[in-house]
Structure 1
Amino acid sequence: MDINKPVGALTVQELLDILQPVISNQNPIHPEKTENVKHLVYGLKGLAELLHCSIATANRIKQEGCLDKAISQVGRKIVIDADLALKLMKSSRKAYLRAKR
């Protein structure tokens, strides 16, 4: 292969031959590294989107306190652990239905 050949003049095979060592040295993404990543939502709008409800309803749910373990708030900044919030909503819903019987 001519080293002075312009990149635009390379054939597909020549380009693959050049890139093959680079491609083969790349490490695949390990799924176990992404397992510990938390899914976070921000603000009442994020909570409303997570719960598929209005912002007013999301605010009322937040004020009830059933999601306190999932919510971190400093001043006006609200950060919510989405997975924990959904788990808490599910368990509080079951408790609500049991108490209603």
Structure 2
Amino acid sequence: MISSEILSKPLFTMTGGEILELFNAIKIPQEPTKKDFTDKHLVYGLSGLATLLNCGKTNAQKIKNSGDIDGAIIQNGKKLIFDSNKVLELLQEKESCLLAQTAK
């Protein structure tokens, strides 16, 4: 508890110890930070996409421009964000469609 002497004293006349005592008594309880533990694993930029797909940036750009992974892209200004799980899912669907067409 803070003494009434410190509470009635002007701030500019307090010593460093008194100021620290005052600030330590005013601790504001903080809510625990909530983390989003969903299954979203995000990669950023074309370099992140290239790393995910184990290819070069040029091929990553071609895949992005093809429109096959549009459902997995979030664009914030110039920043590209890819949901890696969705990217892989969409590419597997595309590959299975291509295999089904060539089998006919």
Give the TM-score category using the shorter length. Answer: 0.5 to 0.7
Q: 1:91 aligns with which of 90, 93, 96?
A: 93
Q: CA deviation at 1:38?
A: 1.4
What one-letter code is carried by the residue in structure 2 that aligns with 1:41? V
* TM-score, normalised by the number of residues in structure 2: 0.60
- Spell out the pairing of 1:35-50 with structure 2 (5 A cutoff): 35-50=37-52
Determine the structure 2 residue equivalent to 1:62.
64
* TM-score, normalised by the number of residues in structure 1: 0.62
Determine the structure 1 residue equivalent to 2:82.
80
> Aligned equivalents of 1:84 and 1:98: distance in 2?
21
Q: CA deviation at 1:73?
A: 1.4
Moved over 6 A (4+): none
Query: What secondary structure sits across from 2:98 in the alignment?
Result: helix
The share of aligned pairs that are identical, in percent, is 41
Paired residues in the alignment total 69
> Aligned equivalents of 2:36 and 2:81: distance in 1?
20
The structure whose Rg is larger is 2
What one-letter code is carried by the residue in structure 1 that aligns with 2:41? H
Determine the structure 2 residue equivalent to 1:3.
none
Query: Which shows bigger deviation, 80-89 or 69-78?
Result: 69-78
Q: CA deviation at 1:40?
A: 0.1
> Aligned equivalents of 1:37 and 1:82: distance in 2?
10
Q: CA deviation at 1:96?
A: 1.3
Q: CA deviation at 1:74?
A: 3.1
Query: What secondary structure sits across from 2:70 in the alignment?
Result: coil
What one-letter code is carried by the residue in structure 2 that aligns with 1:57? N
Gaps of 5+ in 2: 1-34
- RMSD, aligned CA: 1.7
